Amino acid sequence: MIVARRSEVVGRIVPVVLAIGLSLLLFALTGFDVGAIVDGIVEGSLTGDGALANTVRWTIPLVVIGLGVGLSLRAGEFNIGGQGQFLVGSLMAVWVGLRWDLPTVAAVVVGMVVATVAGALWSGVAGVLKVAIGADEVIVTLMLNFIAIQLVSWVTTGPLRDPLTSGDAASTARLDESLRLQSSGQFSVVLIFLTLVLAIATWLLVDRTKFGWSLSATGANPRSAEWWGLPVRRLRLATYLLAGAFAGLAGAFEVFGPSGRVATGATPTVGFTSLVVATVGSLTVFGTIWAGLVFGALQSAVLFLPIVTDLPPSGLRIIEGLVALLITAQFALVLRRRTTRGDDLTAVDRERPDVSVGDGAPGSELGD
Amino acid sequence: MAEFVASMLRSGVPIALAGVGVLFAVRAGIFHLGLEGLMLSSAFVAVAVGRGTDSIWLAVGGALLASAILSVLYWWLIEHLGADAVIAGLGLTTLSVGGTAFFLDVIFDVRGRIDSRVALPRPVRGADDGIGAYVTELSILGWLTIPLVVVAWVVLRRTRFGLRLSAVGSFSYGARAAGVDEPRVRLAAMLCASVGAALAGVEIALGGLSAFSENMTAGRGFIALAAALFGLLHPFGTGLAALFFGSAAAIGVVTQINSIDSVPRPFILMIPFLVTIAAVSFSSIARRRAIERRSRAGLA
């Protein structure tokens, strides 16, 4: 499915508009000049000097990670470790770039491959634990994010430290200019091209292969997928490896592209935002790109906003949080509430979480 | 040794409070990922109200109220609009991260950190020898943790509400057939979780440091959720799990106090998260074993 149905598109746009509207209302009530903020958002993401390039710069990681997250969610796996996989990928890329001493083109290619593999393995930890013993992937991937953040703080203060930086501003040394596919304020043709290739490949995979169809079948109803003889466990594991590979590659894009290094404090929270992007995009390729552009524009605008208004940067987190809070809500249900409610509408009836506490479950043996 | 035990208890208290609260929600079938956000918002509201009123009671009350309001919103989105508990919960957490930083800037005109003017009392402060050294840093909420765990156990095991709660989570159709008002039971479970989260947030902000700093919960809400799972959704088990996670965090505190630097500090700070992964894996193996035992006995 490359595009979602129209009713679904409307269902996804309403929460985003609502979230942005509520945020602007909050900003207005707390004494900020909403007109200036809106002008600032437009100028910082579209019309300003280099603003569009900056929007694209932020859209690329969001779309690349978001495509992988979409594959996971499609198969019913809540792999929310995009941030950790992204960080591990960028660490590997910076390591290859700084220390492997390869010729220019080889360094970039090898760096991307190593980052992709590292991201896949990082995500694979959660995948193996989930598939083999049923460990909850939400918690495991979240914990892997926190571990990756510590890894970054080790690498930037230890092995690859730039001696001129320290503490909260610690960072690795910068890659040589010859390894960079993009400097700030520019479009990077290579990265845009690679992102589009990934998007098309994902679309073909999801829409035109048996693998993609099996993923959706598994996500829609794992039990019947198993009865049909689909290798459900292997499919699930594959989504972890793929999502991790995408996120790791996005990390390499970041390092060889706009940032050129890995820094402790300045790490953008692309992991969570790309989860929002994938969800807003209804897990479709086309939707993910559109949603990526919207959130890329917001990210770009937030870095510009301090110039025109004193709105704190946490304003963007409020918008993102509200979007995530509202995006899966079906607002049509508000109108239909008075009529009968089908059983399928209560999200809490779903299989997750897998916790039985009836007779004989471990819970009842502990204390009584 | 005293150092280690003292910091294990102190690190374990917020995890136990939030974990015992959230197990009500998980038992009712809601995978409550908003817990981290509730804790952070409560911590902020406690510090903010404390600064405004100089009253520890109003600070705690404000935190409880804020946590309850956010919980009702979260419940309403899940219950009536069919929102996904995981994604909406992460949204609630992000909203809290952004919202607390935003209001810190708007109300107090600072970024990063603000000191509190009130703190939780420490009943045995100053007892530095023998057993006293272990507990001298424990706030009143630390002392109340064990009674609260017992209360949670009594409510779950010995009241009509507790039994209905477990029925709603584990056998929804049966509960409905028995005439249980499921939405209300889930709302009550969410409010129980909100109390635990609020107390945990207050403990984090006012128990030791007496300050609020941006994102100060630092993943402890998620660890509390893991503690509930590791404790096999039993209050006593969750309490013990919290103590276990507390000891993982205490390693970091003790090595810092004694400036042991043979291992780079980031690796020590990773320990609680690694331990959490191990614990979640272990509890899922245990759960599977129990289910297998049941099916072998012909019960499932």
Q: Which of B94, B234, B288 sits opposite A320 (nearest CB)?
A: B94
Q: Which of residues 143-172 of B touch A (CB under 8 A)?
A: 153, 157, 166, 169-172
Closest-CA distance, A268 to chain B, in angstroms, reads 14
Closest CA to B221 of B137, B97, B135: B97
Closest-CA distance, B125 to chain A, in angstroms, reads 33
Q: A268 is written with which tokens?
A: 């953008």
For position B173, what pLDDT does the model report?
Answer: 82
More confident residue, A12 or A70: A70
Minimal-distance CA residue of chain B relative to A335: B81
For position B300, what pLDDT does the model report?
Answer: 46
Q: Which of B30, B111, B233 sits opposite A363 (nearest CB)?
A: B233
Q: Which pLDDT band holds residue B226 (cuts at 50, 70, 90)? A: very high
Closest-CA distance, B55 to chain A, in angstroms, reads 25
Q: Which of residues 230-289 of B touch A (CB under 8 A)?
A: 232-237, 264, 266-267, 269-270, 273-274, 276-277, 280-281, 284-288
Minimal-distance CA residue of chain B relative to A276: B87
Dist. CA A307–CA A329, nearest whole Å: 35
More confident residue, A102 or A197: A197
pLDDT at A89 over 90: yes
Quick count: other Cβ atoms within 10 Å of Cβ A331? 14
Dist. CA B217–CA B202, nearest whole Å: 11
Minimal-distance CA residue of chain A relative to B99: A318
Dist. CA A343–CA A354, nearest whole Å: 19
Closest-CA distance, B221 to chain A, in angstroms, reads 11
End-to-end CA distance of chain B: 47
Q: B36 is written with which tokens?
A: 């981290």
Contact between A72 and A240 under an 8 Å Cβ cutoff? The reply is yes
Closest-CA distance, B178 to chain A, in angstroms, reads 15
Helices B265-296 and B235-257 pack at an angle, to 10 degrees, of 160
For position A67, what pLDDT does the model report?
Answer: 95
Mean pLDDT of B232-242: 93
For position B112, what pLDDT does the model report?
Answer: 86
pLDDT at A358 over 70: no
Q: Is B201 exposed, middle or buried (0-12, 13-18, 19+ CB in 10 A)?
A: buried
Q: Which helix (H) or strand (E) holds B211?
A: strand B211-213
Closest-CA distance, A182 to chain B, in angstroms, reads 30
3-class secondary structure, A230: coil
For position A346, what pLDDT does the model report?
Answer: 40
Closest CA to B103 of B61, B47, B64: B47
Contact yes or no for A348 and B29 at CB 8 A: yes
Task: Classify residue B109 as left (phi > 0), alpha (psi -120 to 50) or beta.
Answer: left
**Average pLDDT for chain A:** 83
Minimal-distance CA residue of chain A relative to B158: A368
pLDDT at A348 over 70: no
Dist. CA B143–CA B151, nearest whole Å: 14
For position B175, what pLDDT does the model report?
Answer: 84
Show Cβ contacts of residue B1 under 8 Å, excluding neighbours closer than 6 positions.
Answer: none
Q: Which pLDDT band holds residue A4 (cuts at 50, 70, 90)? A: low
Contact yes or no for A358 and B166 at CB 8 A: yes
Q: Which of B81, B91, B236 sits opposite A324 (nearest CB)?
A: B91
Torsions phi, psi of B113, nearest 5?
-155, 145
Dist. CA A44–CA A298, nearest whole Å: 8
For position A352, what pLDDT does the model report?
Answer: 44
pLDDT, tens digit, 9 for 90 and up, residues B97-142: 999 999 999 999 888 899 988 888 888 776 666 677 777 778 889 9
Contact yes or no for A135 and B284 at CB 8 A: yes
Q: B219 is written with which tokens?
A: 């993943």
CA–chain centroid gap for B226, Å, is: 10
Contact yes or no for B87 and A324 at CB 8 A: yes
Show Cβ contacts of residue A17 under 8 Å, excluding neighbours closer than 6 positions.
Answer: none
Radius of gyration of chain B (CA): 19
For position A114, what pLDDT does the model report?
Answer: 96
pLDDT at A21 over 60: yes
For position A5, what pLDDT does the model report?
Answer: 66
Dist. CA B12–CA B243, nearest whole Å: 5
pLDDT at B20 over 90: yes
Mean pLDDT of B143-155: 94
Which of B40, B41, B87, B267 best tests the A interface by mutation, with the highest count of A CBs <10 A?
Answer: B87
Dist. CA B153–CA A367, nearest whole Å: 9
Q: Which residues of B touch A351 (CB under 8 A)?
A: none
Q: Which residues of A touch B94 (CB under 8 A)?
A: 272, 317, 320-321, 324
Task: Classify residue A288 as left (phi > 0), alpha (psi -120 to 50) or beta.
Answer: alpha
pLDDT at A343 over 50: no
Which percentage of chain A shows pLDDT scores above 70? 86
Contact yes or no for B79 and A348 at CB 8 A: yes
Contact between B42 and B207 under an 8 Å Cβ cutoff? The reply is no
Dist. CA A36–CA A27, nearest whole Å: 11
Helices B2-27 and B140-158 pack at an angle, to 10 degrees, of 30
For position B127, what pLDDT does the model report?
Answer: 65
Mean pLDDT of A179-199: 83
Q: Which pLDDT band holds residue B259 (cuts at 50, 70, 90)? A: confident
pLDDT, tens digit, 9 for 90 and up, residues A237-283: 999 999 999 999 999 999 998 888 888 765 567 888 999 999 888 88
pLDDT at B7 over 60: yes
Which percentage of chain A shows pLDDT scores above 90? 41
Q: Which helix (H) or strand (E) holds B113?
A: strand B113-115
Dist. CA A55–CA A45, nearest whole Å: 6
pLDDT at B171 over 90: no
Contact between A255 and A181 under an 8 Å Cβ cutoff? The reply is no
Q: Which residues of A touch B187 (CB under 8 A)?
A: none
